[in-house]
Amino acid sequence: MTSVNNRPEILSKLGVGSGLDTSALIESLVEAEIAGPKEQLEQRESDFSARISAFSQIKNNLKVFKDNLEIIQSNNSLGYQGTTSDSTIATFSANGNSAASAINSQLTVSSLATAHTLTGPSLSSPNNTVGARTLSIAFGTWSADPTQGGGQSHTSNGMSTISVTATSTTTLNQLRDMINNAATDSNNDGEQDVIASVLYDGSNYMLSLKSQFGAANEMKITDNHASSPVYAYDTTDGAQLTQRVAGTDSSFTVDGISMTRDSNSIDDLYSGMTLDLLKTSGTAITIKSEVDLDAAQTSIQDFVTTYNDVMTHWKILELQTMMMKTRNFSWRFIVKKYSK
């Protein structure tokens, strides 16, 4: 039997002196031979492209579906929503930690909580040395400003005391880093007990120390330098750190009841709700908690819509898969036939 590979040679011999366009004839026969498999390959490519597109669409649908599901699970859209009559003074929001309830109260903010802040002596460069000394920083409450004479006392709040030792070559920047590295998070709230930084006031550089908010978090700092304890903040006489901000609690009134907290973010006033104080108010504002029915309806509708989108595109993918299987296409046959 004559093989397909010998057809061009036979046709060439037959065309000698016959006037036939054997080249065109051979080209037509080859094209006819591969037309069917080529069409199947192109269809195969089209099928795969359609499936890739379907998978991509399903992926996008699932992401939107996941986002809507998380909104519902967060309880922010189906649960209670907090509002205030003046959001520049305070905000009121559901925190999802426990069950909230309907609230309608009057709030007056008298003062905001502040963090005890101290600054050190001025230096011409942050790379200037600070001198050999050991600093110990404790936290608690001062009976009065310790730099204003004798008789003041400091009561510890139980937070860990930190100590750092500078040498004769320690710079201001290095002292800052030493304090931050030694600082702990005594109450496990995710914040250091003290944060050290180097400030530039436009002329000079100085160490700044800031504790956590509240009157009970004020610092007492001892400096063992024999002649110049300039980084002390205690009852030592002479030059010391300067108090820039005293540590204070926030003070506010809710429905005529006076309260204080050591923070401006208050999550224990009402179950499931967080009150954030932003500034003082001369008059009372309203804080409310109620179910937002419009938001709940929108969230549920979005959830249903995205679920339907996912199922629709999944059915399209199943249909495309079934159509590919019913084409009775043999990929191995094509590879074998054209790899000779």
Convert the pLDDT of each residue in 67-117 to its tens digit.
766 665 555 555 688 999 999 999 999 887 666 788 999 999 999 999 999
Q: For residues 55 and 67, give the distance between their C-alpha atoms in angstroms, rounded to a whole number.
A: 18
**b or e along 132-171 (b: 16 or more beta carbons within 10 Å of the residue's beta carbon)?**
ebebbbbbbbbeeebbeeeeeebeebebeebebebeeebb
pLDDT at 263 over 70: yes
- Each domain of the chain, given as residue ranges in start order, spans 22-71+298-337, 80-112+250-291, 115-245
Single-letter amino acid, residue 73 = Q
Lowest mean pLDDT among 43-52, 173-182, 242-251, 266-275: 43-52
* 98: phi then psi, degrees, rounded to nearest 5: -160, 175
* CA–CA dist 257, 298 (Å, integer): 38
Q: What share of the chain is helix, strand, coil (3-state, %, to 5)?
A: 35, 30, 35
pTM for the model: 0.65
Q: With contact defined as beta carbons under 8 Å apart, do 95 and 86 qualify? A: no
Counting every residue, how long is the chain? 340
